[in-house]
Chains A and B, each alone.
Chain A
Amino acid sequence: MTETLGASRAAIYIPQPRPDLLRTPGLGRLLKWRWGRLVFQLPLLAVAALVLYDGFTGPQLAPANSATVLVWIHYRGLVILGLLLVGNLFCSACPFTLPRTLARRFSLAGRRWPRRLRNKWVSLAGLLVFFWIYESLDLWASPWLTAWLVLAYFVGSFLLEALFAESPFCKYVCPLGAFNFVQSTMSPLQITARSPALCLDCQGKECVRGSAHVPGCGTELYAPMMQSNLDCTLCLDCARACPYDNVALQLRAPLQEATMARWPVRRDLSMLVFALTFMALANAFGMVPPIYAVQDWMASSLGLIAPALQLLLIQGTLTLVLPGLLLLGAAWASNRAAGGSSGATRQAMAARYAPTFIPLGLGFWVAHYGFHLAIGGLTIIPVLQALLQDHGFAVFAGRPAWGMGALLPAEVIFPLQVVAVMLGFCAALYSQARQALRHAPPRPALGQLLPWALLAFLLTLAALQLFNLPMEMRGTFRAT
């Protein structure tokens, strides 16, 4: 951290002057208020408490329980829309960090997260395990298991915060955080310093170290050097802690990061952002009929009978092995096609183009989770009516309107999915073209670009094919 804070003037990022949300009358003041984060966390804490209560004690029929409806329909859908339209709102209002703040008071302060684990491999493994558990235990179909998952998040966050001095849970462990960090690189808002020059003369560096009343950045980001939303939980502690009111939450172009020149050359990061695009497809693949054919083939050809092992193999192949091989292969082909003129290593080439797949993946996630929100967004109303009725509040709740379901007419949902996928594809192509032209003249740039563009095209075709298949709500009976 000392090295970071002692950065030279060259490392300071000077952003274009743009509208600053923290200067918005009223809202800016609320966001920077000492308890501003708590205002947004408390409603989500109440939702988490409801999920725990109803998940453990309510009806164990997923569509009739608020735990499963809120987590798998509303949380996922609203997270992805929030990331697309605003920023990392759900990390900002994350209720899991509330007991974590308590844990900080009892912390065995001083111990740092092990150096060997200070990367994104843990998050990547966490995402793989999360999606595997989701598929193999049919988490979406079990209010009880959904409640356990939420409880595990509270406990995990609390324990890691109690054991370590920083916030390793958010930065290195949390799969949801890893997902949000990566997708937020497409968000239209970013933390910056209003006047980076002022930061150079700042002695206290309160935005990172904290002030007497406000903690500094939990993930140890230094505002004037930030060029990315990666690792930013949007907690705004930096803005609250800065004694010079020099932190801004500025509007920016959503593709700014996918097209920027200096994306870190790190294997873990390249793999995480690339694999998340494949996870979007793998997660959707788990809900459509062809997965049965794959599982049947595994049983007959490989003798792999256990569904959990079948799903582990499918998930591992689709979200780790395949993207790993394709990332390496595309980087190699890109170098070859550029005629060796790129002057970049394979790793540098992968780091350059992997982020251009984030908008593609974001389009897939919007199409998938947006589908669930669109087709089932209103089902929470009868679920809450029934919950109130069961607890003696029938007068307020009325008779549960179980017929309520879709937010949008069914016939417009698939066209909207196609739009989301195609916009992601166009954004990926544009980002790739910008990256290629930044590093080479037009002709070699085209060669360099081709393998990545072809890959994006094939992934887009696969996504369109997947979303065009009838959804199956896969396998809950078959697995049991």
Chain B
Amino acid sequence: MRVLTSPTPPRVGPAELTLELLDPAGLGVDHALLQVRGNMTHPGMALVAGIVGEAVKGQYPVTFEWSMAGDWILTVDGQLEDGRRLLRTFELRVEPAP
């Protein structure tokens, strides 16, 4: 799995993320139930939840909002169609708004 961000690099404000979920053969995996949440590394910042859309060829669009510049940990938690659990974290640095 990998995460693509738009804009790149991530900046404070609304963002479109794409979660790319591939099987070992490199084919897209659809129909996973995914949740995306973003936490800053500093305590005391409210969690930001992403809204995950329908997947097409393993590409899951996520509507998200980076609420502050700094270091973020993006957690993707979910279940594949065959019942296996999926849990991955990604470290991202978010730049201040232009």
Contacts from A to B (Cβ < 8 Å): 61-65, 68-69, 72-73, 138, 140-141, 289, 372-373, 375-379, 382, 402-406, 470-478
Contacts and interface: CB of A to CB of B under 8 A. Distances in A.
14 contacts: A63-B43, A68-B43, A141-B71, A375-B44, A377-B44, A379-B45, A403-B49, A406-B46, A470-B12, A470-B97, A473-B70, A474-B71, A476-B71, A477-B91
A402 to B, nearest CB: 4
B91 to A, nearest CB: 5
B69 A472 contact: yes
Q: Which of B37, B41, B68, B70 is the most central at the interface, judged by chain A CB atoms within 10 Å of its CB? A: B41
A470 B43 contact: no
Nearest to A67: B43
Contacts of B73: 61
B46 A473 contact: no
A61 B37 CA distance: 12
Given A405-B46, A477-B91, A63 B39 contact: yes
B56 interface: no
A138 B71 CA distance: 12
B44 A372 contact: yes
Contacts of A405: 44-47
A63 B37 contact: no
Given A64-B39, A470-B12, A477-B91, A289 B45 contact: no
A375 B37 contact: no
A417 to B, nearest CB: 15
Contacts of A473: 40-42, 45, 68-71
Nearest to B44: A376
Given A63-B41, A141-B41, A470-B97, 11 more contacts: A64-B39, A69-B44, A73-B43, A141-B42, A402-B46, A403-B47, A405-B47, A470-B69, A471-B69, A473-B68, A477-B93
Interface in B32-80: 37, 39-47, 49, 68-71, 73
A379 B44 contact: yes
B96 to A, nearest CB: 5
A477 B44 CA distance: 18
Given A471-B69, A473-B68, A376 B49 contact: no
Q: Which of A140, A402, A473 is the most central at the interface, judged by chain B CB atoms within 10 Å of its CB? A: A473
Contact of B43 (A69, A378, A406): A69
Nearest to A73: B44
A405 B45 CA distance: 6
Nearest to A69: B43
Nearest to A474: B70
Which A-B residue pairs are the 5 nearest by beta carbons?
A376-B44, A405-B46, A473-B70, A73-B44, A402-B47
Nearest to B96: A470
Contacts of B69: 289, 470-473
Nearest to A405: B46
A72 B45 contact: no
A141 B72 CA distance: 11
A65 B46 CA distance: 13
A473 to B, nearest CB: 3
